[in-house]
Amino acid sequence: MAKSSTVFFCNSCGYESPKWLGKCPACNEWNTFVEEKVVKDKGSGVSKVKKVQEAVSLNKISKTEINRIKSGFDELDRVLGRWIC
């Protein structure tokens, strides 16, 4: 059975870390870490599947209406955006 985990690596120098870092300790570049899934098989070693995330401009995001539930506290509903007055 394959076991998967997440590894973060630097796009500039290839440094790998088990958690996301803002600044790469190897090349000192900022915001270059990308998330990558690692699948470990018992007999065949490690194979990596790269997950690429791309930025989307705000005008391309569609607005969806959702049913809002009122909590009974008007200020809480207003702050959380759960109720439109």
pLDDT, residue 49, reads 58
Residue 22 has pLDDT above 70, yes or no: yes
pLDDT, residue 74, reads 86
Compute the average pLDDT of residues 44-57: 65
Residue 53 has pLDDT above 50, yes or no: yes
Contact 33, 17 (CB under 8 A): yes
Residue 71 has pLDDT above 80, yes or no: yes
Rounded Cα gap, residues 85 and 77, in angstroms: 10
Q: What is the pTM of this model?
A: 0.43
